[in-house]
Amino acid sequence: MWMSNSLLVFLGLFSAGLVAADANPDFMSVRDTVAKEYRNQEVETAEKYFHESSFHYHYDGRFATEVLPEEETIPHLSALIRTYLSTMKDIGVETWIMHGTLLSWWWNQKIFPWDNDIDVQISEPSMHFLDEYYNMTEHHFDIPGVEGGRTFQLEINPNYVIRSTKDKLNVIDARWIDTSSGLFIDITAVRKDDEKREHGQPGALMCKDGHRFDELDIFPLRNSHFEDFPVKVPYEYTKLLQEEYGSTAITATSFKGHEFNEETLLWDGPKLVHPFY
Partner 1 sequence: MATYPDSESQSFDLSDDTSDDGMYLSSSHHKPAAPSYKLSRFTGPLIDYVRNEWQTNAKYAHLPSTGDRRRSESPRWIQMIMSIVTAPRFRRYVLVYMSLFLAAVLGWTFLLSPQLQEHASLLRALDPQVKQEVGGWFGTNALPSFDDIVQLRTLDPALLPSHAVDQTGEAIPRRLIVIGDVHGCKVELEKLLEEVTFNHDHDHLIFTGDMINKGPDSLGVVDIAQQYGASCVRGNHEDRVLLLRHDMMATNVTRADTGDEHFLEQDTRERQLAKDLNDDQAKWLDTCPVILDVGQIKNMGQVVVAHAGLVPGVELEKQDPYSVMNMHTIDLDTHVPSSSRKGTKWTKLFNKHQSLVYSTVKSGPEGITALQTVIYGHDAKSSLTLKPYTKGLDSGCVKGGKLTAMVIEADGEQKIVQVKCNDYSGK
Residues in binding contact with partner 1, number by CB under 8 A: 42
The footprint of partner 1 on residues 177-196 (CB under 8 A) is: 192
In this complex, which beta carbon is closest to partner 1, that of residue 220 or of residue 269? 220
In this complex, which beta carbon is closest to partner 1, that of residue 6 or of residue 224? 224
Strand arrangement, sheet containing 254-255: 254-255, 258-261, 266-268
Burial zone of 200 (CB within 10 Å; 0-12 exposed, 13-18 middle, 19+ buried): exposed
**Cβ 151 vs Cβ 217: under 8 Å:** no
The helix/strand count (H/E) of the chain reads as 8, 14
In this complex, which beta carbon is closest to partner 1, that of residue 41 or of residue 253? 253
The letter for the amino acid at 132 is: E
**Cβ 60 vs Cβ 53: under 8 Å:** yes
Residue 29 binds to partner 1 (criterion: CB under 8 A): no
Binding partner 1 (rule: CB under 8 A), the pick from 35, 46, 67, 136 is 35
CB of 174 to partner 1, least distance (A): 18
**Cβ 161 vs Cβ 130: under 8 Å:** no
Residue 247 binds to partner 1 (criterion: CB under 8 A): yes
The footprint of partner 1 on residues 198-217 (CB under 8 A) is: 202-203, 205, 215-216
Residue 223 binds to partner 1 (criterion: CB under 8 A): yes
Q: Tell me which residue of 112, 58, 111, 131 sits closest to 231, measured CA to CA.
A: 111
Span of 51-59, 61-69, 161-169, 221-229 interacting with partner 1 by CB under 8 A: 221-229
Q: Tell me which residue of 164, 170, 215, 208 sits closest to 189, measured CA to CA.
A: 208
Residue 236 binds to partner 1 (criterion: CB under 8 A): yes
Query: What's the chain's Rg over C-alpha atoms?
Result: 20
In this complex, which beta carbon is closest to partner 1, that of residue 115 or of residue 215? 215
The footprint of partner 1 on residues 118-147 (CB under 8 A) is: 123, 125
Does residue 125 have a cis peptide bond before it, meaning omega lies within 30 degrees of 0?
Answer: no
CB of 86 to partner 1, least distance (A): 16
Q: HSE of 178 in the Cβ direction (CA atoms, 13 Å)?
A: 28
Q: How many angstroms separate the CA atoms of 69 and 64, rounded?
A: 13
User: Mask of contacts with partner 1, 99-118, x by CB under 8 A?
Assistant: ------xxxxx---------
Residue 245 binds to partner 1 (criterion: CB under 8 A): no
CB of 9 to partner 1, least distance (A): 28
Binding partner 1 (rule: CB under 8 A), the pick from 10, 48, 254, 268 is 254
Q: How many angstroms separate the CA atoms of 176 and 48, rounded?
A: 17
Q: How many angstroms separate the CA atoms of 79 and 178, rounded?
A: 9
Binding partner 1 (rule: CB under 8 A), the pick from 48, 166, 168, 225 is 225
Span of 4-12, 17-25, 49-57, 248-256 interacting with partner 1 by CB under 8 A: 248-256
Q: Which parts of this chain interact with partner 1 (CB under 8 A)? A: 33-35, 94, 105-109, 123, 125, 192, 202-203, 205, 215-216, 219-225, 230, 233, 235-239, 242, 247-248, 250-254, 260, 262, 265
